[in-house]
Chains A and B, each alone.
Chain A
């Protein structure tokens, strides 16, 4: 009877969730997202399966090695499950499940069965996803690979549950976490030491000299994995991964029996355990609910990190431009790394390290040039990825827009204050990278010959232009928040799906397009000044003049955009965007 109720709950939970997802396709944002997301998934995952569903087969000589490595990975994961955890056994339930099921006349075993059944959905989803992502990892049919992944995940799930019960029982019997860890580590050291000793004594050393490929390593690793003590240690793990490596249905069926036997053994272990998990589960469900609520309200920051008070980045005077208060707040929220003291230390470290590297020119010239090029590449990438990664602006403050709306400040100041913090952080990172490049870039790099004056001119021009580009690059996603706020509420209606992936893709491409269009006139202006002044000034000065003109143009552009967005913010109706409470 109880099992029926639990099946009813789980069945209807999935059905209603699916129905909600289908119904929301009536909204254009989800419909377009679903179309783009569907195309993306089809293009990258389904198309190759439709063509036959087989990836490139693992080379004949490497099959044993691949299987051995897979079983070794499982072995390590199982060992970690006995070493790392420190808390008591806790099954993850939602708060509603805790409220309804824990006080209900339901036995502990039924709850475990319910939990095992519920976890099957996640396991199946993960198995299918990994099959799609790793479609070229092996030669077997995709159904065999999906079932193989399912066996691996389901077995690991059972072990995770069983080991958590066993750890709790050990704690109840006076075995502290550290004692358990020491014992497990001691056993592990014996195993690893035994394998290394056996390999050194028995196997011939690998012939490395003159070899440019890694075949010697593969051969040596195969020898270690198939002979000596390791095959015995990895035997049960090999049974679990064997179905994943089956090349055809017959091999799969042959490997399935032993794998299911391991699963059955673990199931028996879990069900036989009679460990009180309720109290820890209640606490876990509360924490999960808090984290989920934070994520659903868009506050990933709060969901991810333990909260710790951060030092203020600078002393905020109680009077002056209110926008600076938002800059100060967002810099404080960004954490203790965003303080003047930290950045001064970094600048000092770069200068000291750079000049130290220069003083060792004969040994480090190649390294210095490599670091300088890396720094320049990172600075370039940061223009595109920085604004996506540093989100301490309206994107993070979207859940508290009602608070921002109450502040007695014009809309343009709200927008300016919000975008200043990520712009400042991004600029600081870029300036640091420029400093690295300026100090370490050599006079001769490949076929490029530069003078110190030219390098300084480039660095200074970049240092002037980059903050302006950052400002534009950050205004764009903030404009998207104000123009399409509902698109930024992705987590609010429930779990993500391919329609939300599609929404993110549309937003990303849209933002890139707008960024390119916004930067184009400034690039044209720079080019014009650079070439027009060529008869008059040396290159370093021309770069600097062009950069300064482009920066002024971008600042004017940013100013207009901030004014426009400020007006949009003032008219922004939270109730229409379904952000208000009602």
Chain B
């Protein structure tokens, strides 16, 4: 796949601003002093070994859990001070679709529209459902849908209010090859439309394909962030054609051969 380059406007103000984010679980620091920004059109990949603090970071950014210290601003709105304005502009897609057992596909969309105040949601939902190939499943309950279809429903609900900021946690989990291709296309389409996207994933080839930037975490601390080219250059030693996988192992200090 050779995607068209995303529109990245350096002059535009960042849609995601994270400053000194720290999250403690008791005494254990899950994330320590994390700062970064994401501008419109940027797709940033959040990578790190297990336990690096990726999911905790995403949950803090989405307003699900409060940070212990530091600030998160979404589209200029502080998540602590103006949580409603901030949440209105974002969508978070968890690795496992979180749906209500007793609401049908259509009822999910109706419910989401009311929560986000999408007045003409039917006009927005129809092309979305068609794009996701769910137009004939509007009266189905989540229990009657496959894993991939559930994920599509979660995506349809998340995109209904046209979020400017999108967080993905392991977006390819459980998808078939066609679903994977569509998900990648969808991410790129939203970024080209000007959304700021943050993807947490262990799939380095995915990040290499869709991300313009990368942020590597280890033990809750930022190792490096920047554009893919910058990060690759920093860890490429003498040879210039280092793969992102090699960059990851060098950056995190892990041995590639270790189990």
Tell me the A residues contacting B by CB distance below 8 Å: 299, 301-302, 307-310, 312, 316-320, 322, 324-325, 328-329, 332-333, 335, 400, 402-403, 405-410, 570-571, 573-576, 580-582
Whose C-beta in chain B lies nearest to the C-beta of A307?
A: B143
Least distance between B19 CB and chain A CB atoms (Å): 20
Contacts of B92 in A (CB 8 A): 406
B98, closest chain A residue (CB)? A403
- Whether the pair A575, B101 counts as a contact (CB closer than 8 A) is no
Q: B114 to A328, Cβ gap below 8 A?
A: yes
Contact call A312/B114, Cβ cutoff below 8 A: no
Within 8 Å by CB of B102, from A310, A316, A580, lies: A310
| Known contacts A309-B141, A574-B64; 6 further A-B pairs (Cβ under 8 A) | A324-B114, A400-B98, A402-B94, A407-B87, A408-B83, A570-B83
B32 at the interface (CB under 8 A from A): no
Whole-angstrom distance between the alpha carbons of A405 and B62 in the complex?
A: 9
Nearest CB on A from B26, distance (A): 8
Flag if B107 contacts A307 (CB, 8 Å). Answer: no
Task: Tell me, yes or no, whether B84 is within 8 Å of chain A by CB.
Answer: yes
Q: Which residues of B contact A312 (CB under 8 A)?
A: 107, 110
| Given A307-B143, A580-B59: A322 touches B103 (CB 8 Å cut-off) | no
> Do A328 and B111 touch across chains, with their CB atoms under 8 A apart?
yes
Which of B40-48, B117-125, B227-235 touches A? B117-125
Q: Within 8 Å CB of B38, what residues of A?
A: none
* Number of residues from B at the complex interface, CB < 8 A: 42
Q: Tell me whether A322 and B114 are in contact (CB under 8 A).
A: yes
Chain B: minimal CB distance from A582 (Å):
6
Tell whether, in the assembled complex, residue B114 and residue A580 are in contact, meaning their CB atoms are under 8 Å apart: no
Q: Is the CB of B98 within 8 A of A402?
A: yes
User: Which of B64, B100, B110 sits near A316, CB closer than 8 Å?
Assistant: B110
> Chain B contacts of A332 at CB under 8 A?
102-103, 107
What number of A-B contacts does a CB cutoff of 8 Å give?
Answer: 104
Q: How far is the CA of A575 from the CA of B107 in the complex (A)?
A: 30
C-alpha spacing A570/B83, complex, angstroms: 9
The minimal Cβ–Cβ distance linking A482 to chain B, given in whole angstroms, is 15
Looking at the assembled complex, report how far the CB atom of B136 sits from the nearest CB atom of chain A, in whole angstroms: 15
Does A410 contact B84, Cβ atoms closer than 8 Å? yes
- B65 touching A406, Cβ below 8 Å: no
B55 → chain A, closest Cβ, in Å? 6
Q: A307-B101, A318-B110 are in contact. Are A405 and B64 (CB under 8 A)?
A: yes
18 A-B contacts, Cβ less than 8 Å apart?
A302-B101, A302-B102, A307-B141, A316-B114, A317-B114, A318-B114, A318-B121, A329-B100, A329-B111, A332-B103, A332-B107, A335-B102, A402-B98, A406-B63, A407-B87, A571-B66, A573-B65, A575-B65
Q: How far is the CB of B44 from chain A (nearest CB, A)?
A: 20
Q: Which residues of B contact A (CB under 8 A)?
A: 23, 25, 30, 55-56, 59, 62-66, 83-88, 92, 94, 98, 100-104, 107, 110-111, 113-121, 139-141, 143-144
Q: Are A316 and B111 in contact (CB under 8 A)?
A: yes
Cα separation A41 to B12 with both chains bound (whole Å): 67
A residues less than 8 Å from B23 (CB atoms): 575
Task: Say how far B170's CB is from chain A's closest CB, in angstroms.
Answer: 11
Q: How far apart sit A581 and B101, CA to CA, in the bound complex (Å)?
A: 20
Which 8 interchain pairs have the tightest Cβ spacing? A325-B114, A408-B87, A318-B113, A333-B102, A408-B88, A307-B143, A302-B101, A408-B84
What's the least CB distance linking B81 to chain A, in Å?
A: 12
Q: Is the interface of B mostly helix, strand, loop or mixed?
A: mixed
A301 close to B101 (CB less than 8 A): yes
Q: How long is the Cα–Cα vector from A470 to B83 in the complex, in angstroms?
A: 31
Least CB distance from B96 to A in Å reads 9
Given A406-B62, A580-B65, A299:B101 Cβ within 8 A: yes
Q: How far is the CB of B58 from chain A (nearest CB, A)?
A: 11
Residue of B nearest to A324 (CB): B114
| Complex Cα gap A325–B101 (Å) | 16
Say whether, besides A316-B114, A318-B118, A406 and B101 are in contact (CB < 8 Å). Answer: no
Q: Bound state CA distance, A448 and B32, in angstroms?
A: 73
Residues of chain A lying within 8 A (CB to CB) of residue B120:
318
For B66, the chain A residues whose CB sits under 8 A away are 571, 573
CB distance from B146 to the nearest CB of A (A): 15
Max chain B Cβ within 10 angstroms of own Cβ: one of A310, A317, A318: A318
Q: Give the Cβ gap from B110 to chain A, nearest Cβ, in Å.
A: 5
The CB with the most chain B CB atoms within 10 A, among A301, A328, A408, A581, is that of: A408
Do B101 and A405 touch across chains, with their CB atoms under 8 A apart? no
- Nearest Cβ in chain B — how far from A397, in angstroms? 9
A582 to B120, CA, bound (A): 37
**Which residues of chain A come closer than 8 Å to B110, judged between CB atoms?**
312, 316, 318
Is the CB–CB distance between B55 and A582 below 8 Å? yes
Contact B121 A307, beta carbon cutoff 8 Å:
no
Considering the complex, give the chain A residue whose CB is closest to the CB of B92: A406
A438 CB to nearest B CB, Å:
34
Interface contact B25-A405, CB-CB below 8 Å:
no
Chain B: CB-nearest residue to A294: B101
Q: Would A333 and B98 count as touching, CB distance under 8 A?
A: no
CA–CA, A582 to B52, complex, Å?
11
Task: Let me know if B103 and A329 touch, CB within 8 A.
Answer: yes
Q: Write the nearest CB–CB distance from A368 to chain B, whole angstroms.
A: 39
CA distance A332 to B110 in the complex (A): 12
CA distance A570 to B80 in the complex (A): 10
- Bound-state CA distance A576–B107 (Å) is 32
Task: Report yes or no: B87 in contact with A307, Cβ–Cβ below 8 A.
Answer: no
Q: Given contacts A400-B100, A574-B65, A582-B55, is CB(A408)–CB(B116) below 8 Å? A: yes
Residue of A nearest to B84 (CB): A408
Given A318-B118, A328-B114, the answer on whether A307 and B88 have CB atoms closer than 8 Å is no
Do B107 and A402 have beta carbons less than 8 Å apart?
Answer: no
A309 to B138, CA, bound (A): 11
State whether A402 and B59 are in contact (beta carbons under 8 Å apart), knowing that A329-B103, A333-B103 are contacts in the complex.
Answer: yes
A582 with B111, Cβ < 8 A, contacts A307-B101, A307-B102, A333-B103 known: no
Q: Which residues of A contact B144 (CB under 8 A)?
A: 307
The answer to whether B55 touches A406, judged by C-beta atoms less than 8 angstroms apart, is no
- Expressed in whole angstroms, the minimum distance between the Cβ of A92 and any Cβ of chain B is 22
The CA of A320 and the CA of B111, in the complex, are separated in Å by 12
Q: How far is the CA of A217 from the CA of B88 in the complex (A)?
A: 72
**Contact call B114/A581, Cβ cutoff below 8 A:** no
The reply to whether B56 and A575 form a contact with Cβ atoms under 8 Å apart is yes
Q: A328-B111, A574-B65 are in contact. Are A318 and B119 (CB under 8 A)?
A: yes
- Residue in B104, B117, B140 whose beta carbon sits within 8 Å of that of A318 in the complex: B117
Q: A310 vs B100: C-alpha distance in the bound complex, in angstroms?
A: 13
CB-based contact A319/B119 at 8 Å: yes
In the bound assembly, the distance between CA atoms of A162 and B121 in angstroms comes to 58
Report how far A408 CA is from B77 CA in the complex, Å: 12
Contacts of A408 in B (CB 8 A): 83-88, 115-116
**Given A408-B88, A571-B66, A575-B23, A581 contacting B55 (CB threshold 8 A):** yes
Docked Cα-Cα span, A400 to B101, in Å, equals 11
* Residue pair B117, A319 in contact (C-beta under 8 Å): yes
A580 touching B84 by the CB < 8 A rule? no
Q: Which residues of B contact A400 (CB under 8 A)?
A: 98, 100
Task: State the Cβ distance, B101 to closest chain A Cβ, in Å.
Answer: 5
Given contacts A301-B101, A318-B110, contact A325 B65 (CB under 8 A): no
Question: A302: which B residues are within 8 A, CB to CB?
Answer: 101-102
Do A333 and B101 touch (CB < 8 A)?
yes
Q: In chain A, what residue has the closest Cβ to B100?
A: A329
In the complex, A485→B59 CA distance in Å? 19
Q: Quick one: closest A residue to B23, CB to CB?
A: A575
In the bound complex, residues from chain B placing their C-beta under 8 Å from that of A571 are 66
On whether A409 and B141 interact (CB within 8 A), knowing A322-B117, A575-B25, the answer reads no
